[in-house]
Structures are given as C-alpha cells and as structure tokens.
C-alpha cells in the first residue's frame, strides 16, 4: 500500500502551491495526497464548478474532507492579528482581533480573513456563495427599503432594486437582472475602449507624420517645426486625455462584482459626459 503524500512533511526548501506558485497559505491536502493553498483549491473548485485535483485530475463527486495543518493556521492567525491594518484595508467581520479581510461574500454580506473564510472552501453549501475581492461598504449592496440584496436593475428609473421592489414601487417598470445588465454594459465598454484605442493610434500616426516631415526638410527644419508645434502639442494633449479615459475604463472592466461594476459604469459614463 502506497504511503499517502502529506504536504506537511519536513522539506529542505519551503514548499510552494502549484496554483499560485507561491509559498503555502493555509495549506490543505486532498485525499489524493496533493497539496494546495486552501484558498487556491477552494477558488479552483468554485470557478470550475467541480471538485477535481488540478494535478492528477482525481474527481470527487462531493466536496472532500481537506486535511489542514491547524498549527500553521493558528500561528498564521496569531501573526496576522498583531499586524495593524493599513489604510484602505477592511477588517474581518468575524474575528475579534479584526485581522485583514481577504474576501467578501455577497450571500453572507460579510468580509472574512483567511482563517474565517475556510468554511466557504470546506462546506458544500457555502462553496456556492459568490466570493469577490474585498468590498469596503457591503451595505451599499442592500436595498435600504427592504433590506434585501440589490439584484435587479430598473431601466425605467435607472436605479438598482431588490426582488420586493419589483412587486411594489417598481411594478410594471422595465426591469432586468443585474448580471444581465452588467453583461450588456461590459459589451458596450469593450466597444468604447476599442474606439478610444483607435483614436489614440490615429493621433500617434499624425504626430509621427509631422515629425517625419520636419526631419526630411532639414533646411527648413526650425521653420517647419515652429509651424506644426502647436498642432503637435494639441495632439499630445488629446492622446494624454484619451489614455486617461482608457485606463479608467480598463480598471472598471476588471471589477468582479456585477453590481459594483454597474454602479461604477453609470458613475463613470455620467462623469465623462459632464467633462465633454
């Protein structure tokens, strides 16, 4: 009988997780013996929708029992609790030490540190919850009138609503699920970024042509450059502004949570209209 591989055996060098390619954080062993960071394997299963070992492809019909090194977890938590939160970091909603939260759950409406996030990677039911990058103000995702999640978008009023709102204040309005509206807006965003990038490229080509013309006519280089200096300056200002907008949209495109994405999309587009 083969001895089961244990990721907690002593090694000459610090072992690394093959998913994140970094040293283990909350290491966890699968029944097949392969080891990963608890968060890495939890996210891997959540994204792929199946419990399978990324290395040997061993398939588990239900979420298997993970073997973790509790000493490592306790020590990590104790160490984390002594580190003060930096500006912008969100504290865990569970631990009294208020360690740094690493994920927010849109189902539980709470943010968790690595240790208290464990149940979401261990439990079959909690494993279905939507985990996103840490959100500072989760209460912005809840309907102020009914206390329910804002999972609908009212196109008639251009506002976010909950399921109960559809049966009362927004009855008969044009309503769509937040994730579907977000998908439409992401498509719009891609087209907008494509046009911005095209506009940037067109202006760069114009600047290059002006510079080439000035270089060709060496006798009148100073005169030619003086005539076009104002135009080049204007083009460079336009390029700088277009790049700023493109970066803004690129950051927006990376927003994981559909509700946050839509909120920021509406704010960004309205801001850019005001600027124009």
CB of 70 closer than 8 Å to CB of 34: no
The label of the residue with tokens 């500006």 reads: 87
What's the CATH class of domain 70-139?
Answer: few secondary structures
Please give the share of the chain, as a percent, with pLDDT higher than 70: 80
CB of 135 closer than 8 Å to CB of 111: yes
Higher per-residue confidence, 2 vs 194 = 194
Residue 110 in tokens: 């709470």
Partners of 36 in the β-ladder: 28
Whole-angstrom Cα Rg for the chain:
26
3-state percent helix, strand, coil for the chain, nearest multiple of 5? 45, 15, 40
pLDDT digits (tens, 9 = 90+) for 199-232: 999 999 988 887 777 665 555 556 666 667 778 8
pLDDT digits (tens, 9 = 90+) for 64-111: 877 776 544 555 555 555 567 777 788 888 888 778 888 888 778 788
Region of poorest pLDDT, from 124-138, 170-184, 255-269: 124-138
| Spans of all domains in the chain | 1-68, 70-139, 142-173, 177-275
Please give the pLDDT value at position 25.
Answer: 74
The label of the residue with tokens 């990963």 reads: 36
Could you tell me if residue 109 is left (phi over 0), alpha (psi between -120 and 50 degrees) or otherwise beta?
A: left
**What topology is assigned to 1-68 in CATH?**
Herpes Virus-1 (3.30.40)
In whole numbers, what is the pLDDT of the chain averaged over residues? 79
* Average confidence (pLDDT) over 149-157: 87
Q: For residue 180, how many C-alpha atoms fall within 13 Å in the half-sphere facing its CB?
A: 7
pLDDT band of residue 195 (cuts 50, 70, 90) is: very high
Please give the share of the chain, as a percent, with pLDDT higher than 90: 17
- pLDDT at 139 exceeding the cut of 70: no
| Cβ neighbours, 10 Å, residue 152 | 23
Higher per-residue confidence, 179 vs 115 = 179
């Amino acid at each position: 009988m083969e001895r089961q591989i244990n990721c907690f055996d002593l090694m000459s060098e610090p072992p690394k997780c093959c998913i994140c390619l970094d040293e283990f954080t909350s290491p966890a062993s699968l029944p097949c013996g392969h080891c990963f960071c608890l968060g890495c394997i939890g996210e891997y299963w959540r994204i792929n929708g199946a419990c399978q070992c990324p290395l040997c492809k061993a398939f588990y019909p239900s979420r298997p029992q993970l073997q973790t090194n509790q000493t490592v977890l306790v020590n990590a938590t104790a160490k984390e609790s002594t580190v003060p939160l930096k500006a912008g970091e969100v504290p865990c909603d569970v631990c009294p030490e208020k360690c740094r939260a690493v994920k927010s759950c849109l189902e539980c409406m709470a943010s968790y540190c690595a240790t208290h996030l464990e149940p979401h990677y261990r439990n079959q039911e909690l494993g279905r919850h939507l985990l996103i990058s840490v959100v500072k103000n989760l209460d912005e995702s809840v309907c102020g009138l009914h206390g329910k999640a804002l999972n609908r978008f009212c196109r008639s009023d251009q506002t976010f609503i909950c399921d109960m709102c559809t049966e009362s204040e927004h009855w008969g309005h044009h309503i769509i699920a937040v994730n579907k509206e977000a998908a439409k807006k992401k498509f719009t965003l891609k087209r907008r970024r494509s046009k911005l990038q095209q506009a940037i490229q067109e202006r760069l080509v114009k600047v290059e042509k002006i510079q080439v013309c000035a270089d060709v006519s060496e006798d009148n280089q100073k005169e030619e450059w003086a005539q076009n200096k104002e135009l080049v300056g204007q083009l460079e200002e336009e390029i700088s502004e277009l790049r700023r907008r493109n970066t803004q949209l690129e950051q927006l495109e990376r927003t994981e949570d559909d509700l946050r994405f839509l909120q920021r999309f509406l704010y960004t587009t309205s801001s850019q209209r005001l600027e124009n």
